[in-house]
Homo-oligomer: A and B are copies of this chain.
Amino acid sequence: MKRTSRDIRTANRYEVLRQIIAASPTSRQELAAATGLSLATVATLVGELLDLRMITEVGFEDSAGGRPRGLVAVNASGGALIGVDIAETYVHVELFDLGLNVLARAEEDVRPSESRPEQVVGHVAAVVGSVVAQAGIEGARVLGVGVSVPGQVDRATGISEYAPNWDWHDVPLLDLLTEHIAYPLYLDNPLRASAVAELWFGAARGRGDAVVVNLGTGVGSGLILGGGLHRGVSNSAGEWGHTTIVLDGRLCRCGKNGCVEAYVGASGIMLTLRESSADSPLLHPEDQTATIAALARGLAERDPVAVKVVRDTVRYLGAGIADLVNLFNPEVVVLSSWVAAALGEPLVEEVRGAVARHALPRPNAATEIVLSPIPTDPVCLGAATFALEGALQSVGQRQQKRTPSARAKAHHRQ
């Protein structure tokens, strides 16, 4: 999509709040230095955030030879945000304050027999109600609920166009959720949720171009380009899991052959293990989580089967990530989701070597490859961030109508 001046203003608002969350308390001068924005722009944006009670003034610090500088900090209790991660087998919900600290969490299992949209929505409504009750906060303080659902999502209409695990087609998920949940809702998918989590709170913070690679049951990428999320023209960019790495190769659950996901998704890794050692004790048929955990332990103990399966997987994974490096030329590739977390640094080490063999030298030299540093569920955090962005965006629109006075006020505050 084309970027407008309004997009830039919104992105700047995000960036200033991001920086305040990262480094409270802080001064307008520090914010200008950290974001590269002018002091006047920072002052305007800080004024908006103060008006919204998302941040507060918390005193002054001396500046060498100048007037004392006003300090601001995130107003953690100024509101609550909820992130919902609808995954293949569970619904996980976290409630955050405005500093994005977790105040409450809840989870319900989704059995395969309960995967009709109405049933899943029932689970979501139950856990959202549960975290609000647990946190003991008033409903009016909930600024929004971000909901991540796997597959292809039409954000504008709130339709889950295709969810591969449950074979959902064109489910009006937002409408269904609205029947049960009164807070503002923001729908998207886990690729974009984890990318936004890295952009605000993780390894992509302050970076212009970053690719967040999700390695889980499903596989895909979230793209941070030019300092913002790249969605593509129909909000379906980043489908790296279904790019071809072996023409006419393994059958993928999308129906095509030779997709990256068929080799590096959790079931692809299980298939590689089965092909290499069908009676391996590492293999827990029907249980991806247990199998990947066993592989991780095996890797730590230098079990030859585990080492071989990870190495075989990295042959595909390294080539696939090298494709992302060659195409996007990013500053950083972040490995996220539960398979990456389980296999950890030993996997990342192997991946770095394989990418160096497959990528062109120039983009390879410019790219770091790291594990996601986010300690909690990045999809919940990212979904909550969508709600935060939504709140900031609607605020900005209300704000614009009284820009001149708000701006004047902000200048007086300097």
Residues of A within 8 A of B (CB): 1-5, 8, 11-12, 36, 41, 152, 161-162, 208-209, 221, 223, 225-228, 230-240, 242-247, 249, 254, 256, 315-316, 319-320, 322-324, 326-331, 357-358, 360-363, 365-367
Known contacts A208-B233, A235-B329; 5 further A-B pairs (Cβ under 8 A):
A8-B8, A236-B362, A236-B363, A242-B360, A327-B327
CB closest residue in chain B, given A232: B329
Question: How near does chain B come to A232, taking the closest CB pair, in angstroms?
Answer: 2
Top 8 closest pairs, chain A to chain B, by CB: A232-B329, A2-B227, A237-B329, A243-B323, A239-B326, A234-B366, A2-B208, A1-B208
CA distance A221 to B244 in the complex (A): 17
- State the CA gap A366–B161 with chains docked (Å): 14
Q: Determine whether the beta carbon of B1 is less than 8 Å from that of A240.
A: no
Contact with A230, one of B226, B315, B316 (Cβ below 8 angstroms)? B226
Which residues of B are found within 8 Å of A315, using beta-carbon distances?
247
Give CA–CA (A29, B319) in the complex, Å: 50
Interchain nearest-CB distance for A3 vs B (Å): 5
A355 to B282, CA, bound (A): 39
Across the interface, A227 reaches (CB within 8 A) one of B3, B221, B365, namely B3
Please, could you name 15 A-B residue pairs with CB atoms under 8 Å apart, sorted by A? A1-B226, A5-B8, A152-B360, A209-B237, A230-B328, A232-B329, A233-B366, A233-B367, A236-B362, A239-B327, A242-B326, A243-B323, A247-B249, A256-B357, A324-B327
